[in-house]
Amino acid sequence: MRHFDLSPLYRSTVGFDRLFNLLDQASSNEAAPSYPPYNIERTAENAYRITIAVAGFGEGDLSIESKENALTVKGEKQPAEGAEKREVLHQGIAARAFERRFQLADYVQVTGASLENGLLHIDLVREIPEAKKPRQIPIGNGGSAKVLEAKVAQAA
């Protein structure tokens, strides 16, 4: 894959740092982490759900943090107190620590999380402020134009 040098664009733009960082990350050759597996689904027009397979992790082993436009899910297995050391002959259930990051779009908020049957469900909703929503502008019939505000100029 080709790597594009975006440094000339950094010099001539202001406020687009986040966009350029996303482009750099998308074009990098780093392999995307595959553990733990996850699904992203749309549950309604402006509602989404991220489901992460976290078999073997309890509520105390997981942490979810939402900061700015990033959602970070961390998992680290805490050793049980008083548990005896076991000899594992085959380990097929991965219980290694992980950190999974998701980039959230503007106005997307986390509304809740639940852990059931080894699956961590994180519910998200996109709430666009009224000022940012599109609105219809009525078109007049070409008759007399209405004056919304008129001021009389005063002679000096």
Within-domain flag for 151: no
Q: Are residues 110 and 52 in the same domain?
A: yes
Q: Where are the beta strands (DSSP E) in 76-130?
A: 98-103, 108-116, 119-126
Within-domain flag for 60: yes
C-alpha to C-alpha distance for 65 and 61, rounded to whole angstroms: 14
Q: Are residues 93 and 22 in the same domain?
A: no
Within-domain flag for 109: yes
Which of 1 and 56 is assigned the larger pLDDT? 56
Within-domain flag for 138: no
- Whether residue 14 is predicted with pLDDT greater than 70 in this model: the reply is no
Q: What is the pLDDT of residue 85?
A: 78
Range(s) of the domain holding residue 124: 36-80+88-130
Q: Are residues 76 and 7 in the same domain?
A: no
Q: What is the pLDDT of residue 140?
A: 80
Within-domain flag for 118: yes
C-alpha to C-alpha distance for 128 and 134, rounded to whole angstroms: 10
pTM assigned to the model = 0.63
Within-domain flag for 46: yes
Q: What is the pLDDT of residue 135?
A: 83
Which of 44 and 80 is assigned the larger pLDDT? 44
By the 8 A CB rule, do 40 and 78 touch?
no
- Asked which of 7-16, 80-89, 102-111, 130-139 is least confident by mean pLDDT, the reply is 7-16
Within-domain flag for 106: yes
C-alpha to C-alpha distance for 118 and 17, rounded to whole angstroms: 38
Mean local confidence (pLDDT), 24-49? 77
Give the CATH number, domain containing residue 97.
Answer: 2.60.40.790
Domain count, the chain: 2
By the 8 A CB rule, do 97 and 75 touch?
yes
Within-domain flag for 155: no
Interior CA angle at 53 toward 57 and 127, to 5°? 110
Q: What is the pLDDT of residue 84?
A: 75
Q: Are residues 96 and 120 in the same domain?
A: yes
Q: Are residues 96 and 123 in the same domain?
A: yes
Q: Are residues 3 and 70 in the same domain?
A: no
Q: What is the tens place of the pLDDT at every residue in 48-101?
A: 999 999 988 888 899 999 998 889 999 998 776 766 777 888 877 777 889 999
Three-class SS state of 62: strand
Q: Are residues 54 and 12 in the same domain?
A: no
Q: Are residues 9 and 57 in the same domain?
A: no
**pLDDT classification of 121: cutoffs 50, 70, 90:** very high
Q: Are residues 66 and 125 in the same domain?
A: yes
Q: How many CB atoms lie within 10 A of CB 124?
A: 23
Q: What are the structure tokens assigned to 122, written together?
A: 């994180």
